[in-house]
Amino acid sequence: MQTKIETFNASLLKTDIPDIRSGDTVQVHQRIKEGDKERIQVFEGLVLARKHGRGVNATITVRKVSQGVGIERIFPIHSPMIAKIEIVKRSKVRKAKLYYLRTAKGKKAKLKAKEFNLEKPEEPAPVMEETKPEETTPKEQPQEQPAPAEEQKPAGA
């Protein structure tokens, strides 16, 4: 019985989810169905927390401030209603849960940005072995003539 549940849960896992951490600024593209129409709504904000591990029930809490009002939403990462999640920026943080940012104002609410590369690292191009040209066709190089040595006169004479 347990293996059936595990295989079912494994089939629900998405594979295109980036490595989301606390302190990341993300854009969550969510499918919204209104009547018979479907559209995508983007919610951009800071990830305060990631909960429930990496399984089917994994969620992220995203916070943004809109017109001076803080808005937090909890998104199930593997939900079929989530079209995609993009990481916009990474910040250097030391905590797993950034709940202190709810009350922080001014400079305390800012996080230091960290450099990161979203693209996969390119594989280095195969190095071609350099072959030295054979000495059968030597090139004529102009020979340098040594400059005639000038005689130095003593400074005091």
Give the domain CATH number at 92. 2.30.30.790
Report the pLDDT averaged over residues 33-40: 94
Two structure tokens written together for 9: 């849960």
Residue 35 lies in a domain: yes
What's the pLDDT band for 10 if we cut at 50, 70, 90? confident
Distance (Å, whole) CA 84 – CA 30: 7
Higher pLDDT, 31 or 125: 31
Two structure tokens written together for 22: 């606390």
For residues 12-43, one letter each, b for 16 or more C-beta atoms within 10 angstroms of the residue's C-beta and e for the rest, the string is eeeeeeeebebbbbbebebeeeeeeeeeeeee
What's the pLDDT band for 1 if we cut at 50, 70, 90? confident
Higher pLDDT, 132 or 51: 51
Residue 154 lies in a domain: no
Residue 116 lies in a domain: no
> Would you call 59 exposed, middle or buried from its count of C-beta atoms within 10 A (0-12, 13-18, 19+)?
middle
Q: What is the pLDDT of residues 72-115, one digit of tens each?
A: 999 999 999 999 999 999 999 999 999 999 998 888 888 888 87
pLDDT at 153: 63
What is the extent of the structural domain holding 36? 2-105
Residue 135 lies in a domain: no
Report the pLDDT averaged over residues 133-137: 59
Distance (Å, whole) CA 10 – CA 5: 9
CB distance 55 to 25 below 8 Å: no
Residue 70 lies in a domain: yes
Which of 3-12, 48-57, 99-108, 144-153 has the weakest average pLDDT?
Answer: 144-153
Give the range with max mean pLDDT: 12-16, 51-55, 58-62, 113-117. Answer: 58-62
Residue 153 lies in a domain: no
Residue 29 lies in a domain: yes
pTM for this structure? 0.68
Residue 150 lies in a domain: no
pLDDT at 87: 95
Task: Tell me how many domains the chain contains.
Answer: 1
